Amino acid sequence: MKTKMLKIEMAADPANPKIADINIYDYVGSPFRDEEDGSNISTASKFQAELKKLGDVSEIRLHVNSQGGLCSEGISIYSQLLNHAAKKTAYIEGFACSIAGVIVCACDNVIMSPASQFQMHPARGISYGNADNFRQYAAELDSITDGVKSAYLGKSGGKLTAEKLDELMQGVDGDGTFLTAQQAMDYGLCDQISGKSAKPQKPEEPEPDPDTGSQNNAKNNEFVMNMFKMFF
């Protein structure tokens, strides 16, 4: 089975060369097939090369729809964006799952569509070897998880506690949690919901008329007494 790797698309806005659009619309994986010389280049390396080609941009618009991928690649992309001097806005246009959600946390502003999803979970992987190898691998996964937690907490601006983050990352059965745009905003992981309309207000219950209420109560009491007569 072929895995679709991340296709990195970066381009400066023709109307304003100081603004650049970056699309992350696939699996964040490695290796990446470089079309120019045929060598395999990791997505993080490719991202770095493409980012350098953009030159001195003042604003980056990151468009994301990704199920996630490799932590080693995604954390590097996150760090590159975090350290870039440009103003960064992420647009979650579908899913920002796993390491893709970590990447968007590098942005100053995160905008989600009303139907989009933000997902997080503990680091996971596959290993082999003896018991000591597995214990070492478990420790490495815990370390990676602790690292990505810092990205979530840093973005949340205090709206997300470490305890709540642990709960969300574990989820019901250790597979993590999907967050709606509103939930992500409540936890500080999203700054804006695009095209958000006002929440429908729950219609108010009409106040019962005191006299009518008394008459209804009397009728109800009479009905209940008749029911007792039927069954007892």
Banded pLDDT at 199 (limits 50, 70, 90): very low
Question: In this predicted structure, what is the pLDDT of residue 43?
Answer: 86
Task: Report the C-alpha gap between 151 and 71 in whole angstroms.
Answer: 13
Residue 34 has a pLDDT of 56
The residues, any chain, with a CB within 8 Å of residue 160's CB and separated by 6 or more, are: 152, 153, 187, 188, 189
For the cut 70, the answer to whether the pLDDT of residue 144 exceeds it is yes
Across the chain, mean pLDDT equals 81
Contact partners, residue 57, CB within 8 Å, separation at least 6? 12, 17, 18, 19, 20, 86
What are 60-71's pLDDT values in tens digits?
Answer: 999 999 999 999
Model pLDDT, residue 26? 85
169-207 burial string, b = 16+ CB within 10 Å, else e? beeeeeebebbbbeebbebbbbbebeeeeeeeeeeeeee
- 118 or 226, which is more confident? 118
Q: Is the pLDDT of residue 117 over 90?
A: yes
Digit-coded pLDDT (tens) for 29-56: 865 555 555 456 678 988 999 899 888 8
pTM (2 d.p.): 0.76
Q: Give the model's confidence band at 18: pLDDT under 50 very low, under 70 low, under 90 confident, else very high.
A: confident
Whole-number pLDDT of residue 152: 98
**What's the chain's length in residues?**
232
- Residue 218: pLDDT over 90: no
Q: One-letter amino acid identity for 13?
A: D
pLDDT band at 165 (very low <50, low <70, confident <90, very high): very high
- In this model, does residue 97 exceed pLDDT 60? yes
Q: What is the CATH number of domain 9-205?
A: 3.90.226.10
